[in-house]
Amino acid sequence: MIIRIKEFAKIENPREYAAHEVEDLRAQLLAGSQAERDSRREHFYNLEMDKHAYYIHISPVSGNVILLAKWSRIPSDCYNETEQMVAG
């Protein structure tokens, strides 16, 4: 599913991630971003970008976004490189 927010939507940042990280998320959501719905929680989504993944909640009333978690993604080819570096 694609999630797109409106320009005036607010992104709440209760965990106080860096401002540039919130703006990166905003830019992605304004353009439209591929998201996966959390099957256990209504209005909660996982978004995977190139280098980061986000867990967000979108208010069904206001359309505002709450950034709940952000983490770095490790490309799958990185695992192959690591296996080659580990002594057997």
pLDDT tens per residue across span 70-83: 998 876 555 555 55
pLDDT surpasses 90 at 51 = no
Nearest to 29 by CA among 56, 60, 69: 56
pLDDT band at 85; cut points 50, 70, 90: very low
pLDDT surpasses 50 at 87 = no
pLDDT surpasses 70 at 16 = yes
CATH number of this structure's domain 2-85, picked from the four choices 1.10.3210, 3.30.2310, 3.30.70, 2.60.40? 3.30.2310
**What are the beta bridge partners of residue 52?**
72
What pLDDT is stored for residue 84 in this prediction?
Answer: 52
DSSP-derived letter for residue 39 is: T
